[in-house]
Amino acid sequence: MREYLEQEGLHPDDTSAIPHLFRCPISLDVFTDPVTLCTGQTYDRPSIERWLQLGNLTCPVTMQRLHDPSIVPNHTLRHLIQHWDSLGRRPVVIGGGDPDLLFPLVAVKHALESCGAAAAERLLAVQKVRALIPDKSPTASPACSHLNGMGFLPALLEVAFSEAERRKFSHGLVDEALSCAVKLLDAAAVAGAVERESAYRSLGVLRQDSKVASFHRLFEEGGPAVEASLCCLIEAICSSPETQEISTLLLTKKATFSHEVVGLLYRRERDEIVEAGLRAVRALCSVEPNREPMVRAGLVDGLIDHVRDGSSHGLLAIAALEKTLGVEKAREGILENPNGVGSLVRMVFRVSDLEGSERAVSCLIRLCEWSERAREAAVGAGVLTQLLLLLQSHCSGRTKAGARALLKVLRRSSSSKEGR
């Protein structure tokens, strides 16, 4: 690496410049996922893919016609950049570009990872990381990609969950560390494949029994900001096939944890907590083994309350409810709830929420195919009128197909009754 930097005319300890071969010719940013064309020219994958998707058949730099449009990962360059990042060589400026506010990220990361560092010292290090992450659109921030490239995400997770193992932990440190970790995860989720995979691998630390215990303790004892961050971590865990089993560990290692998550749906005085809770239960129910314990914890009634209210959370609630319907106890719960079927019927046609209409129809199909009682309740609640209004609206073809399928189910039920 030192030899390469010297060949580039840079001092090996210089943090004020980026080697020109590390920049994509299209975006002019440091490569996140370098790939090479048949012409031998290297580009960042997102940039060249956009170029090719626009119908261009030439190399942007050489303007040679591409006889082969395939792209090949440039592993050598990627490893060079990763090594360069690990040394803290990339310049990072905070405070609107003021060069006086440059700080050595290697030292910051060392402070985070130092077992002997006091909580106050680690909090200061976390706050320096926080200063780099923009409040708005962190997903588009080059600083977030840089921090992820240097391995700050696993360091922040370790800070939060190891701190929770202390008898008296620093709530401020945990809050800040988790908040930063969530923002870096959000940025990684929309980044290149390499950064995304690396970030999600960091979540594997939660397979450790001590970290699961810390997660449970923080969820129980942390404030609203910590609860919201942990809900975001649940979403991330459930979104990756490599980490989904961790969500099941969280439920099985503590019998009351599912009840604690469901309890967030009733915290109506904190709208942001309700939304975080709904996102978490939707994510948990996307993993099949989690559905039954979540239903046993009383999830169905909590979701129906939000569907019935017609609030801004209704779509999240019905999306989670739809995922539970493979569990018989969930279907029974909807029927037993006095507002269950009626709430779904009212959501079939809402001018402002056609996505909710599609999900409501999907839920009703599952229920009505399963139970004659559900069919009778749906008809009694006015589902036929709602379906006709939906079919006359500008909803998608898929939603209309679902509406017709539900009408057929109801028609079959009516015909079978007449034949008795």
- Distant-in-sequence, close-in-space partners of 167: CB < 8 Å, separation ≥ 6: none
Query: Is the model more confident about 193 or about 405?
Result: 405
Mean pLDDT, rounded, for 317-336? 96
Average pLDDT over residues 189-213: 88
Model confidence band, residue 334 (pLDDT cutoffs 50, 70, 90): very high
Mean pLDDT throughout 208-213? 96
Lowest mean pLDDT among 88-92, 150-154, 225-229: 88-92
User: Where does the pLDDT of residue 414 fall: very low under 50, low under 70, confident under 90, or very high at 90 and above?
Assistant: low
pLDDT in tens, 286-300: 999 999 999 999 999
Q: In angstroms, rounded to a whole number, what is the distance separating the alpha carbons of residues 391 and 263?
A: 37
pLDDT-derived band at 85 (thresholds 50, 70, 90) equals confident
How high is the mean pLDDT of the chain?
85
Domain spanning 2-83: CATH superfamily: Zinc/RING finger domain, C3HC4 (zinc finger) (3.30.40.10)
Q: Does residue 238 surpass a pLDDT of 90? A: yes
The pLDDT value recorded for residue 90 is: 61
- Residue-wise pLDDT for 97-144, tens only, equals 433 333 457 678 888 888 777 888 899 999 989 988 877 666 666 778
* CATH value of 93-293 in 1.10.30, 1.25.10, 1.10.10, 1.20.120: 1.25.10
Please tell me the predicted confidence (pLDDT) of residue 94. Answer: 43
Residues of the chain with CATH 3.30.40.10: 2-83
Type of residue numbered 182: V
Selecting from 3.40.50.300, 2.60.40.10, 1.25.10.10, 3.20.20.100, what CATH number does the domain 298-420 have? 1.25.10.10
Least confident of 10-24, 179-193, 225-239, 375-389: 10-24
Residue linked to tokens 């919201």: 228
Q: What is the pTM of this model?
A: 0.75
pLDDT of residue 258: 97
Comma-separated ranges of CATH 1.25.10.10 domains in the chain: 298-420
